[in-house]
Chains A and B, each alone.
Chain A
Amino acid sequence: MSGQDRISASVAVKEGQAVCAACGHDLGPATKPWKDHAHRREIPLALAGGQAYDTGHEGVLLRHFYCPGCAALLDTETAMAGDPALDDILAARG
């Protein structure tokens, strides 16, 4: 990864470590799934807000990953219970 790369608009990379782009909280090596170091919360889609998400079906989840440091929302996934997190990692330079 080059100095200017990042994982996403919300997760930056600093000296090889994934960090919260808002507060700099360390989220582990950028070459490993950073979500293991984030605060994870799942809510039924129907409760995500507004009426449009309420499909009348259960078992569909919105999965949020928050920064443990500043509570920024770092990533959101649509998921069904038990499905693994989606991992985005940068390769080591070299």
Chain B
Amino acid sequence: MDPMTFSIIRHRLFRIVDEAVITLKHVSGSAITNEGHDLMVSLYRADGTLLMGGVGFLHHLTSAAEACKSIIRRFEGDIHEGDIFLLNDPYTAALHTSDIYLVSPIHHEGRLVAWSACFVHVYDIGAVNPGGFAPQAPDIYTEGFSSPGIRLVAGGEMRQDVLDTILNMVRSPEMVTLDLRSMIACNNVARDRMQSLMTKYGAKEVDGACAELVNQSEDLFRARLRELPDGQWQSRQYLDVNGDTARVNLTMTKKDDRLIFDFSGSDPQSPYSINCTKWASLGGLFAPLFPLLCYDITWNEGVLRPVEMIAPEGSIVNCTRPAPVSVATVGAIQSVNNAACSTIGKMLGASEKYRNQSTAVWHANHFAIFKFGRNQKGGDSIGILTETFAGAGGARSFADGVEIGGEIPNPISRMANVETVEAAFPVRYLFRRRAPDSGGPGEYRGGTGGELALVPHKAPDGGINYVISGKGSRHPMSEGLAGGYPGAPNSYVWVKAPEDGANTPVTAAGGLDAISGTQERVSWGVYPLMGRDALYVRWNGGGGHGDPIVRDPEAVRRDVAAGLVTLQSAGDIYGVALRDGAVDETETMAKRKSIRSARLQQEASE
């Protein structure tokens, strides 16, 4: 086709997705959509294959394609212009029940020509715990409303009975209405723009450009794979919940222009809601694959074609009904994404041409903490602790990871200001800062994570409660590369005030240990933050790259000065001696020499 017209149509398809995202954010107005950017909008071809993925939560690009396909199968012959379908059943295509897909067919001159799909994390879905993440759910039946596909809008008219039925099952139906309304508006914008694109250039021409775009992505991705070495790379993730530990094992094989992700050997599905379905696993592995391998390739079906996934049925990465999955997005899906990031990072690191694209694992462990309770103004407040979106960058083969630098699967996220949180919730921060020693040591250090402590403040009920789905406080999950250490794991501590009636702490410059009281680890369930107690959270740093004892001693000195690495770790892990704030070169050399000789003193165990 004419390369000029192709270029114009391609650009316009990108903008259509952008405009739909803007509409979604505008109409919704919710904090999680606008601040956390927990959303996704994309376009699909008439057969449901991915045409154009936007910059949203990348886990969803492939799952929403499956949502389109399953709607096509279910409603074959009964799909009409102006219809909008809702789907949120994880065993059909969705990631978990609270991420609702609305998919809408796009017709031109009476013919089905494309689909648009979007999701937001809705305010509530009626699960046993509020907010969508349900650590106390034993099965899918207690994780709220779910549908494998239902017509919400018929020929442009809202089906009020269907809507009322859904709203009847959720907390705060007004907020869920708003979420649904925003998704409808978003799909309408995508449909209108696609239709005017086809009117201007012709449906056949546009579809031709779409086919070309998909083929082009496939060709480019296969060409890139051929440039990379053939081989096999392994990674492993440990997910601990309430004392149980589950493994996600991955062997990634690259041969010629194909890539196989094999999760054989992963543990059986868990009694806890960290499991994920196979569509969710597929989404999880593509989330890092798009930005790491296809950063300059349009994200569509063409990228999917060279990739195969093997996920054993009944395992934590391909669970079977009725296993609970509500924490999947920060559970098994995130581990799949970490594991894939690790093997892809290894493969890129093995290539002369692409080694600078290689990265250790970023922010591997979200902590989903939903605070809820009456606030200082007497109103109800509920919301996620947005520090979970703050993340940490993995070290790269040429540079340190970005401190508190976000995550790979959600390219544009951010956390709320302390003042914003304190204005809306009856809490006060004692500190919020970068956590020392949290970035994985290496020649290039992983980006640090952060730490914070909260106390109740002017709370009418003496404090608030929170739902925590905080797995991963035992095992580091942000793996390093080429010898780099993993980032330090998450930590969630309930500091119980001493009996003797001391006041609520007002400051804690020394960190966790400066808060008086007894420390108790928490991770899973519903807990109070009341009275004079404090909640401490530390989130993981990124993985390191290379051997820490070859890190530039000057960089270690700077890290210590900036409070990113402790003096003890500078000596023990990096082998750097500091004296009066300067590097002691002689002693550093001696220290590194002695670390080297200690390394070989023990017999090889295999």
Which residues of A are interface residues toward B (Cβ below 8 A)? 1-2, 4-11, 35-36, 38-42, 45, 48-53, 55-57, 60, 62, 64-66, 68, 70-80, 83, 85-91, 93
Instruction: Please tell me if the beta carbons of B545 and A9 are within 8 angstroms of each other in the complex.
Output: yes
In the complex, B480 has a CB within 8 A of chain A: yes
In the complex, B232 has a CB within 8 A of chain A: yes
State whether A7 and B596 are in contact (beta carbons under 8 Å apart), knowing that A49-B572, A53-B488 are contacts in the complex. Answer: no
In the complex, B70 has a CB within 8 A of chain A: no
Cβ distance A69 to chain B, nearest Cβ, rounded Å: 9
Cα(A67)–Cα(B538), bound, Å:
34
Cβ distance A37 to chain B, nearest Cβ, rounded Å: 9
Cα(A13)–Cα(B530), bound, Å:
59
Cα(A48)–Cα(B476), bound, Å:
12
Instruction: Please tell me if the beta carbons of A78 and B475 are within 8 angstroms of each other in the complex.
Output: yes
Query: Which residues of A have CB within 8 Å of B502?
Result: none
Binds A, one of B153-161, B275-283, B314-322, B348-356: B348-356
Nearest CB to that of B349 among chain A residues?
A8
Query: Which residues of B have CB within 8 Å of A45?
Result: 476
Provide a sorted-by-A list of 21 A–B residue pairs whose CB atoms are within 8 angstroms.
A5-B350, A8-B346, A9-B397, A11-B482, A39-B599, A39-B600, A40-B606, A41-B602, A49-B569, A50-B566, A50-B573, A53-B488, A55-B473, A65-B483, A72-B550, A73-B549, A78-B477, A85-B606, A86-B234, A89-B232, A91-B232
Nearest CB to that of B397 among chain A residues?
A9
Query: Which residues of A have CB within 8 Å of B234?
Result: 86-88
- Which residue, of A8, A40, A42, A52, has the highest number of chain B Cβ atoms within 10 A? A52
In the complex, B208 has a CB within 8 A of chain A: no
State whether A9 and B232 are in contact (beta carbons under 8 Å apart), knowing that A49-B568, A55-B489 are contacts in the complex. Answer: no
B residues 497-539 touching A (CB-CB < 8 Å): 521, 538
Nearest CB to that of A5 among chain B residues?
B229
In the complex, B149 has a CB within 8 A of chain A: no
Query: Which residues of A have CB within 8 Å of B488?
Result: 50, 52-53
State whether A9 and B437 are in contact (beta carbons under 8 Å apart), knowing that A40-B605, A76-B485, A91-B230 are contacts in the complex. Answer: no
Cα(A40)–Cα(B489), bound, Å:
23
B residues 464-485 touching A (CB-CB < 8 Å): 473-477, 479-485
Instruction: Please tell me if the beta carbons of A41 and B606 are within 8 angstroms of each other in the complex.
Output: no
Cβ distance A40 to chain B, nearest Cβ, rounded Å: 5
Which residues of B are interface residues toward A (Cβ below 8 A)? 229-236, 238, 240, 245, 247, 255, 346, 349-353, 355, 397, 435-438, 441, 443, 473-477, 479-486, 488-489, 491, 521, 538, 541, 545-550, 565-566, 568-569, 572-573, 596-597, 599-600, 602, 604-606
Instruction: Please tell me if the beta carbons of A78 and B350 are within 8 angstroms of each other in the complex.
Output: no
Instruction: Please tell me if the beta carbons of A71 and B596 are within 8 angstroms of each other in the complex.
Output: yes
Cβ distance A16 to chain B, nearest Cβ, rounded Å: 13
Query: Which residues of A have CB within 8 Å of B485?
Result: 48, 62, 76
Query: Which residues of A have CB within 8 Å of B546?
Result: 9-10, 73
Cα(A73)–Cα(B443), bound, Å:
10
Cα(A86)–Cα(B245), bound, Å:
18
Instruction: Please tell me if the beta carbons of B482 and A52 are within 8 angstroms of each other in the complex.
Output: no
Nearest CB to that of B593 among chain A residues?
A71
Interface of chain B, main secondary structure? loop
Instruction: Please tell me if the beta carbons of B349 and A2 are within 8 angstroms of each other in the complex.
Output: no
Instruction: Please tell me if the beta carbons of B350 and A80 are within 8 angstroms of each other in the complex.
Output: no
Instruction: Please tell me if the beta carbons of A90 and B547 are within 8 angstroms of each other in the complex.
Output: no
Instruction: Please tell me if the beta carbons of B482 and A75 are within 8 angstroms of each other in the complex.
Output: yes
Cβ distance A81 to chain B, nearest Cβ, rounded Å: 11
Cβ distance A11 to chain B, nearest Cβ, rounded Å: 8
Nearest CB to that of B474 among chain A residues?
A57
Extra pairs beyond A49-B437, A52-B435, A71-B596 (14, CB < 8 Å): A6-B352, A9-B481, A45-B476, A49-B441, A49-B569, A50-B573, A51-B566, A64-B599, A74-B547, A75-B483, A76-B486, A78-B476, A87-B232, A88-B350
Query: Which residues of A have CB within 8 Å of B566?
Result: 50-51
Instruction: Please tell me if the beta carbons of B352 and A4 are within 8 angstroms of each other in the complex.
Output: yes
Query: Which residues of B have CB within 8 Å of A62?
Result: 485-486
Query: Which residues of A have CB within 8 Å of B240?
Result: 57
Instruction: Please tell me if the beta carbons of A80 and B481 are within 8 angstroms of each other in the complex.
Output: no
- Which residue, of A51, A73, A80, A91, has the highest number of chain B Cβ atoms within 10 A? A73
Instruction: Report which of B230, B231, B437, B596 forms a contact with A50, defined as CB distance below 8 A.
Output: B437
Cα(A7)–Cα(B475), bound, Å:
26
Instruction: Please tell me if the beta carbons of A78 and B232 are within 8 angstroms of each other in the complex.
Output: no
Instruction: Please tell me if the beta carbons of B245 and A80 are within 8 angstroms of each other in the complex.
Output: yes
Instruction: Please tell me if the beta carbons of A52 and B238 are within 8 angstroms of each other in the complex.
Output: no
Cβ distance B133 to chain A, nearest Cβ, rounded Å: 22
Query: What 6 A-B pairs come out closest when comparing CB atoms?
Result: A4-B352, A52-B488, A50-B437, A91-B230, A50-B569, A73-B547
Cβ distance B223 to chain A, nearest Cβ, rounded Å: 15
Instruction: Please tell me if the beta carbons of B604 and A88 are within 8 angstroms of each other in the complex.
Output: no
Query: Which residues of A have CB within 8 Å of B355?
Result: 9
Cα(A78)–Cα(B255), bound, Å:
27
Nearest CB to that of A66 among chain B residues?
B599
Cβ distance B359 to chain A, nearest Cβ, rounded Å: 12
Query: Which residues of A have CB within 8 Å of B477?
Result: 78
Cα(A1)–Cα(B230), bound, Å:
7
Cα(A7)–Cα(B347), bound, Å:
8
- Which residue, of B486, B547, B565, B568, has the highest number of chain A Cβ atoms within 10 A? B547
State whether A91 and B568 are in contact (beta carbons under 8 Å apart), knowing that A2-B352, A8-B349 are contacts in the complex. Answer: no
Cβ distance B71 to chain A, nearest Cβ, rounded Å: 40
Query: Which residues of A have CB within 8 Å of B521?
Result: 56
State whether A8 and B482 are in contact (beta carbons under 8 Å apart), knowing that A72-B547, A80-B238 are contacts in the complex. Answer: yes
Cα(A53)–Cα(B397), bound, Å:
23
Instruction: Please tell me if the beta carbons of B350 and A90 are within 8 angstroms of each other in the complex.
Output: yes
Instruction: Please tell me if the beta carbons of A90 and B573 are within 8 angstroms of each other in the complex.
Output: no
Cα(A4)–Cα(B397), bound, Å:
16
Query: Which residues of B have CB within 8 Å of A71?
Result: 596-597, 599-600
Cβ distance A84 to chain B, nearest Cβ, rounded Å: 9
Nearest CB to that of B481 among chain A residues?
A8
Instruction: Please tell me if the beta carbons of B604 and A68 are within 8 angstroms of each other in the complex.
Output: yes
State whether A49 and B573 are in contact (beta carbons under 8 Å apart), knowing that A9-B355, A41-B599 are contacts in the complex. Answer: yes
Query: Which residues of B have CB within 8 Å of A91?
Result: 229-232, 255
Cβ distance B407 to chain A, nearest Cβ, rounded Å: 19
